[in-house]
Amino acid sequence: MSFGPKLILAIIVLILGLWLIKVTKKVLGRTLGKRKIDVTARKFVVDLVGALLSITLLISVLSLFGVPTTSFIAVLGAAGLAIGLALQGALQNFAGGILIFFFHPFRVGHLIETEEVIGFVKDIQIFHTVLVDLDNKRVVVPNGPIMNKKVVNYTAEGSVRVELSVGVAYDTDLRKAEQIIKDALKKDKRVLSNPEPVVGVSNLGDSSIEFFVRPYTKPNLYWDVHMASLLNVREALNDAGIKIPFPQREITISNKEATQK
């Protein structure tokens, strides 16, 4: 007689608990979906939360039957601690993946620099991020180190600056050369007009006056614009009769024996 009410209560708690777990997983899945989190990571997080809630429900149902759960919880805690220590690196990467999905320091398709690697983000997994570097090599970077170190995102602002340097002879009309370089950059439609290219004198070198040339473009066009800009500037300066000097050295050879004779 005393066991009947406990059994009924345990069944009610079990049914309600399973229903609540199902609803919680659905709500969590929808919430993560609205935040545009990767499907694989979304399923992993939902399943993990469901497993933890199921274990909690099982312990609660056992306690209703009078089963001592203190030892059971202690065993689970010790097992969890041992597993946590054994998988410390993996858990760090998992935590890093969760932070990436929630805070979005970068997204798929972005050009980023991290862990001494520059590449486009191809995929973001729960434990690692896949990059394709500028040499078209696939690089797998653990998420833990990514979130613990500096990440440079070249795509987030919508444009990236191409840094070039061009030298001209000392007898050059600098304002004329500056305008020629700007016009040469504008001929390339891949060079953005907003922000405008920046051109100016950067250094008075040993054999030339150096201009810094800073056109802006889309991140995925960086190297195309880099190479095309150098070619266009070189041709424009050459057509205008402006020389691009190269380093020269004068060497004087003294023959002391011939002088003495």
**Average pLDDT by stretches of 10, the chain with 261 residues:** 69 85 86 70 76 81 69 64 57 78 83 86 85 87 85 86 89 90 90 89 86 90 90 91 75 66 53
What pLDDT, on a 0 to 100 scale, did the predictor assign at position 126? 77
Whole-prediction pTM: 0.57
Q: pLDDT at position 232, please?
A: 92
| Domain spans, the chain | 3-86, 105-153, 160-239
214: nearest Cα among 172, 182, 175, 170: 182
**How many degrees, rounded to 5, is the angle at CA 10 between CA 7 and CA 15?**
125
Tell me what pLDDT residue 251 has.
77
Query: What's the CA gap between 223 and 231, in Å, rounded?
Result: 12
From 3.30.70.100, 3.10.100.10, 3.30.70.270, 2.60.120.10, which CATH number describes the 160-239 domain? 3.30.70.100
* Cβ contact 210:199 at 8 Å: no
Q: Which pLDDT score is estimated for 8?
A: 78
pLDDT at 88: 56
Exposure b/e, 77-100, CB count within 10 A at least 16 = b:
eeeeeeeeeeeeeeebbbebbbbb
Structure tokens at 209: 């006056």
According to the CATH classification, is domain 105-153 in 2.60.120.260? Answer: no
What pLDDT, on the 0 to 100 scale, is given for residue 216?
Answer: 92
